[in-house]
């Protein structure tokens, strides 16, 4: 067996998690927790960088996100689940790393730039938001993570982490920090049910892990397909058609899906038939997830206890790295 690696990843608790999160990262975590040492972080401090006016929203979603994790099978016996803002080493590491990056580099981070656009910040972007990639480097390096399962929008963050790790190790002639690597999904990113490139809460085009069977049925029925496919006999487009992208991600019977794609492409297969099949496959995936979520939701105190214990474990691990970082920098004054 290969040597165990360390994994760190996380989510901002600003909304419930959806199928896009599952395909992009949650599925990998469920698999990786059996192979490696995994930390999963609820990034409340990062969420505050653009939600300072609404900490109540974040508070609520700490529990919701934890329920989503447990529902999909992230197992607290195998994975340490913790709350970012309760790990004091993280902001301290951030402070030191900030000196290793230029303001110019921060301004050009593609993910941050896209978010500034999307949120309409303009020049009024919070300073905390501009530097969140560096706090994310602290998250990753505090645990010496070498693998980071994330959606592909997070690649620039991992590149930033690699740069800081190299710079830190070179500057302070050390090897305490570990270079991370992104683990991205083998399945194409899930578009929204409206056909937009990304499923997201802000676009209102997501299917949530916690959506009821009725809501999922409604959403699938209303899903965007090929707008040129007007009559059943017409040839339809498979490429870029969300219904098929979802089937690729959640359908079990690959041969049947291939047949449906060929049939759709030559004409004669109606959207409603494909949607019905997709709905069956989605419900088969979501039914047990919903049941597990409802079970845990009956005992929020137990869920919070899992987070509390996880946060203690994570705090100890991060404090150790911080001590090594301070020693490497030679600012460990009393030892």
Nearer to ligand TRP, 50 or 226 (CB): 50
Burial zone of 130 (CB within 10 Å; 0-12 exposed, 13-18 middle, 19+ buried): middle
Decide if residue 14 touches ligand TRP (CB under 6 A).
no
Report the site for ligand TRP in 235-264 (rule: CB under 6 A).
none
Contact 317, 139 (CB under 8 A): no
| Cα–Cα dist 302/314, whole Å | 18
Assigned token pair, 119: 């949120």
Angle, vertex CA 128, rays to CA 127 and CA 134, nearest 5:
110
Category of 144 on φ-ψ map: left (φ > 0), alpha (ψ -120 to 50) or beta: left
Decide if residue 10 touches ligand TRP (CB under 6 A).
yes
Nearer to ligand TRP, 9 or 185 (CB): 9
Residue that has been written with the tokens 């059943």 in this structure: 232
Nearer to ligand TRP, 136 or 245 (CB): 136
Decide if residue 37 touches ligand TRP (CB under 6 A).
no
Residue 40 forms beta bridges with which residues?
Answer: 9, 81
Contact pattern for ligand TRP over residues 190 through 219, marking x by CB under 6 A: ------------------------------
Give the total of residues touching ligand TRP (CB under 6 A).
Answer: 13
Decide if residue 140 touches ligand TRP (CB under 6 A).
yes
* CB-CB neighbours of 167 under 10 Å: 15
Decide if residue 150 touches ligand TRP (CB under 6 A).
yes
Stretch that binds ligand TRP, among 3-11, 169-177, 211-219, 307-315 (CB under 6 A): 3-11
Q: Which residues contact 60 (CB under 8 A, 6 or more apart)?
A: none
State the minimum distance, in angstroms, from the CB of residue 320 to ligand TRP. 18
Q: Which residues bind ligand TRP (CB under 6 A)?
A: 8-12, 43, 46, 136, 139-140, 148, 150, 154
């Amino acid at each position: 067996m290969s040597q165990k690696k360390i994994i760190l990843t996380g989510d901002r608790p600003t909304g419930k998690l959806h199928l896009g999160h599952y395909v992009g990262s949650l599925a990998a975590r469920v698999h990786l927790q059996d192979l490696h040492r995994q930390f999963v972080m609820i990034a409340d401090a990062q969420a505050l960088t653009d939600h300072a006016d609404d900490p109540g929203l974040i508070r609520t979603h700490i529990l919701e996100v934890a329920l989503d994790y447990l529902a999909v099978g992230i197992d607290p016996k195998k994975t340490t689940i913790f709350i970012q803002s309760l790990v004091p080493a993280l902001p301290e590491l951030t402070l030191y790393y900030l000196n290793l990056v230029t303001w110019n580099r921060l301004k050009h981070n593609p993910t941050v730039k896209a978010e500034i656009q999307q949120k309409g910040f303009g020049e009024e972007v919070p300073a905390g938001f501009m530097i969140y990639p560096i706090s994310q480097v602290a998250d990753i390096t505090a645990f010496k993570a070498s693998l980071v399962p994330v959606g592909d929008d997070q690649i620039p963050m991992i590149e930033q982490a690699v740069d800081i790790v190299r710079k830190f190790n070179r500057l302070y002639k050390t090897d305490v920090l570990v270079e991370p690597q992104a683990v991205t999904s083998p399945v194409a990113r899930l578009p929204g049910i409206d056909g937009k490139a990304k499923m997201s809460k802000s676009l209102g085009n997501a299917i949530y892990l916690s959506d009821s069977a009725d809501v999922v049925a409604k959403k699938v029925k209303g899903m965007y397909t090929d707008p040129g496919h007007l009559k059943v006999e017409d040839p339809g487009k498979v490429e870029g058609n969300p219904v098929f992208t979802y089937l690729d991600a959640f359908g079990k019977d690959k041969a049947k899906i291939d047949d449906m794609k060929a049939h759709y492409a030559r004409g004669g297969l109606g959207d409603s038939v494909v949607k019905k099949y997709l709905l069956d496959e989605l419900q088969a995936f979501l039914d047990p997830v919903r049941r597990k979520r409802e079970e845990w939701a009956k005992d929020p105190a137990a869920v919070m206890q899992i987070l509390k214990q996880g946060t203690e474990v994570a705090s100890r691990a991060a404090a150790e790295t911080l001590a090594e970082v301070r020693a490497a920098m030679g600012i460990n004054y009393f030892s």
